[in-house]
Structure 1
């Protein structure tokens, strides 16, 4: 590859099979183009903010919701109320992925913003457990749809060299939503804790970002890659020119068109595509990465942090304030992750993050036994959960969502992400449902030791199967897997 001061050369294969070199300008965006891309990123990631708030708010709402004069929750129904959102999210990922492929990324996000609004109001006024669970499932459908659509939308909008930074803005908004939930929970609980129904005010706040998302998406363009895949080439090029330097836009558009022509030889994406070895391999890797994020046990802390800190010795009000530390470190760590992703690489970050989270949980488990009667235990547990979340949010979570948006071919990106994120949320659902039951039956230490064992298995999976995607365009990533498959099949044929 030849490089000059202003340009770099990328070798592409044209539709007729000829090898050609194209110049990719290093001065890729004007200030106005960068600002427009930032605006698109900010607006679309309000979906991530809603995801974070709706999953984090239950952390503080549960103690009040569980009172006898409210919903009178048991450990099992606590898990059911918490995890029902995640059950809905699993199916929302499937339907949202298919809808985004068919109707477009923008229209899908617009639709789910309205669902967020209605379901949030339903949760806030729910008179009993049954209606609460139903509304949380509907809310989960919106969470799952945005979890698939927003990262794909951002990946298709971002230039290759900034894709890690842009896509992980969604993860930043997720943890920001959780932090806001913890802050509002603590403020409302300490100011209006005498009101038995204070939890309803905690929940209804989420209507504000839902309205902001819907209004904002009216001003955002459709993904150029999706437009091109539907034959709307002029619109696709025009969108690219708004977020890229002119020559870079044309070069990228030609690359997208070539990829679409190649994919045109493949029928419309269906589950039958899983018969293709390289597609099946990619989906299995995607499922594995998705499962790893949940096997750290992160959501046992994000959903039940208040209960964990209460068990360690804090009062309810103090535990709610302590949870703010978890939210703050999650946001700060995500900034670190965004800075590192396009410098360090996906694989080493994921491996380091898993090692750090597993070690933190091991220490929590051991010290909960050794220092059982110590007055310092609550502060030690809080400190270790902060360390755990630093590794989780700086490495594991950003890499998970970024790689979900990177490794799948364009024509089945929505379908494949739907499948892998379905698996992510089903595992999330099981953690959310079973953690309070296991916690109640076996205690904190033994429950966390289970997550440590799963973390060790996850490290082996990363070392053996997870690919590196840093610094490669989406089209290059797809081509590399196809070439790998062809080489494998040729080798098998020679045998």
Structure 2
């Protein structure tokens, strides 16, 4: 590998660390809420808002970050992103109230919304055509590695939080979980000083010689010459291009592929992926395996994501987009239905010995519950909250459910891991690949922007309502709904999803616009 190629790979890796921080932030909160929720005595809506508020802020950042980077430059905005990540980590760790916690997390949301838009843009602008796809894919890989690092961090910090520990307690362990993010955020900030400005942005700002110098440094003189010609030709073409309007996406020639893209964008989120990621520890607690095992299962979940993301990278150009997506969505539906079945078979009963074994519980308050069998998790949790109060129940939920739950926890674990595996090789990465391929060049940016916004809104909505669903609909019904949605999505996409593998963008434009 040539020196210039190594330099390009290094730059792509540094810039996509924003994706790592997104994954880390998203993964870490599943462990945090096991402690921060009870400490601030949060209700379902408040818990949902703490988890989902970064996604809400990210929607705003996605709308403005592209335009801001056109004005001040990609690199400056990425430096702001790294700073906001660091600021969010510090403020979150020192949060003194519910309001301070969600505001701190929204600051982080502004960062990852901008990062998810700008990192692929910047990487594409410093890459050559031959390695652009591989380099941009580093972003998705960094996201899943961030999830893995977060779940691993949560697991070890939870293991260190013992009754004999004076360093980590229930009141401080979640602050360390959030504060650890400061380390990769600072690393990201300082490493960004080693990446150049985007040569394409420099061309747009008429800083031609600086842009040419960077391209020569990255690709060598010969390759840089063809890249310079390509950029100059593209800028000339764009300067004469008519501005497109959002309503043009639903005109007859584009309506079909816009509907396909919108279906993919919505389905990717409403099948429950971010409910699983953001609430993984809470979900595993519901199976009765206990708090420690729930944290360990989170590590297994994130490792599964990493493995099957590599599977997607390996198969996407061999197997094709359509079969990969349809196979994955069918697997998602079956996995969610399996989880619903497992939870539906659960029963809940506390014996006197089990109550006495949990030191934080007052047996006198549970006299009407001890020995009684509950067929529904909703009824059991409602009775426990009425007897103990929501804060005491929330603090001890893992231990209570571990003692009371009688169910096949392995069945649910298989269902969750099956869902994660199927998502990681289908809807996760393949959706974005198809969105980049289906639309004519003139409309591509607008279409992906609109679908990305709807995708982010769907993500925020699922995160916000998931705690309410568990409390009011129950575990079984919640997962059954996700399974049914995936099943409906499978039949819709089986009917309408095109195959884009092995076709040039021009061929796809002629074929899909005609359709």
Do the aligned residues in 2 keep the contact of 1:97 with 1:415 (CA within 8 Å)?
no
Q: Does residue 168 of structure 1 match 2:143?
A: no
What is the 5 A alignment of 1:405-444? 417-444=448-475
Q: Does residue 212 of structure 1 match 2:183?
A: no
The number of equivalent residue pairs is 453
TM-score by length of 1: 0.82
Q: Does residue 34 of structure 1 match 2:5?
A: yes
Q: For the residues of structure 1 that align with 2:78 and 2:336, how far apart are their CA atoms? A: 36
Say which of 455, 458, 462 aligns to 2:489: 458
Do the aligned residues in 2 keep the contact of 1:97 with 1:418 (CA within 8 Å)?
no
Aligned-residue offset at 1:136 = 1.5
Q: 1:355 to 1:272 in 2, by over 3 A?
A: closer
Q: 1:377 to 1:162 in 2, by over 3 A?
A: farther
Q: Does residue 119 of structure 1 match 2:95?
A: no
Aligned-residue offset at 1:219 = 1.5
Do the aligned residues in 1 keep the contact of 2:438 with 2:512 (CA within 8 Å)?
no
Q: For the residues of structure 2 that align with 1:419 and 1:425, how far apart are their CA atoms? A: 10
Aligned-residue offset at 1:394 = 2.3
Aligned-residue offset at 1:35 = 1.0
In the alignment, what sits opposite 1:134? 103
In the alignment, what sits opposite 1:348? 323
In the alignment, what sits opposite 1:72? 41
In the alignment, what sits opposite 2:377? none
In the alignment, what sits opposite 1:153? 122
Q: For the residues of structure 1 that align with 2:93 and 2:343, how far apart are their CA atoms? A: 36
Say which of 147, 150, 173 aligns to 1:198: 173
In the alignment, what sits opposite 1:395? 426
Aligned-residue offset at 1:104 = 3.2
Aligned-residue offset at 1:133 = 1.5
Q: 1:292 to 1:252 in 2, by over 3 A?
A: farther
Q: Does residue 99 of structure 1 match 2:99?
A: no
Do the aligned residues in 2 keep the contact of 1:171 with 1:401 (CA within 8 Å)?
no
Say which of 403, 413, 418 aligns to 1:382: 413
Q: For the residues of structure 1 that align with 2:74 and 2:436, how far apart are their CA atoms? A: 13
In the alignment, what sits opposite 1:17? none
Do the aligned residues in 2 keep the contact of 1:151 with 1:401 (CA within 8 Å)?
no
Aligned-residue offset at 1:108 = 2.0
Do the aligned residues in 2 keep the contact of 1:405 with 1:413 (CA within 8 Å)?
yes
Q: 1:265 to 1:101 in 2, by over 3 A?
A: same
Q: 1:134 to 1:260 in 2, by over 3 A?
A: same
In the alignment, what sits opposite 1:362? 337
Q: 1:125 to 1:411 in 2, by over 3 A?
A: farther
In the alignment, what sits opposite 2:369? none
Aligned-residue offset at 1:205 = 0.8
Do the aligned residues in 1 keep the contact of 2:17 with 2:188 (CA within 8 Å)?
yes
Q: For the residues of structure 1 that align with 2:202 and 2:500, how far apart are their CA atoms? A: 24
Question: CA offsets, 1:182-229, max 9 Å, x none?
Answer: 111111112125512210000011111111112122211234444444
Q: 1:453 to 1:210 in 2, by over 3 A?
A: same
State the SS of the aligned residue for 1:66. Answer: helix
Aligned-residue offset at 1:303 = 1.1
Q: 1:249 to 1:340 in 2, by over 3 A?
A: farther
What is the 5 A alignment of 1:35-54? 35-54=6-25
In the alignment, what sits opposite 1:90? 59
State the SS of the aligned residue for 1:168. Answer: helix
Unaligned segments of structure 1, at least 5 residues: 1-29, 489-495
Q: Could you tell which deviates more after superposition, 169-178 or 50-59?
A: 169-178
In the alignment, what sits opposite 2:360? none
Q: For the residues of structure 2 that align with 1:253 and 1:468, how far apart are their CA atoms? A: 33
Question: CA offsets, 1:152-177, max 9 Å, x none?
Answer: 22334444454443222211111111
Q: Could you tell which deviates more after superposition, 134-143 or 287-296?
A: 287-296
Aligned-residue offset at 1:43 = 0.4
Q: Could you tell which deviates more after superposition, 351-360 or 256-265?
A: 256-265
TM-score by length of 2: 0.79
Aligned-residue offset at 1:51 = 0.4
Q: 1:222 to 1:161 in 2, by over 3 A?
A: same
In the alignment, what sits opposite 1:11? none
Q: For the residues of structure 2 that align with 1:259 and 1:83, how far apart are their CA atoms? A: 39
In the alignment, what sits opposite 1:19? none
Q: For the residues of structure 2 that align with 1:236 and 1:281, how far apart are their CA atoms? A: 39
State the SS of the aligned residue for 2:150. Answer: helix
Q: Does residue 290 of structure 1 match 2:261?
A: no
Aligned-residue offset at 1:31 = 2.2
Q: For the residues of structure 1 that align with 2:162 and 2:16, how far apart are their CA atoms? A: 32
Q: For the residues of structure 1 that align with 2:204 and 2:510, how far apart are their CA atoms? A: 22
Do the aligned residues in 2 keep the contact of 1:53 with 1:180 (CA within 8 Å)?
yes
Say which of 191, 214, 225 aligns to 1:250: 225
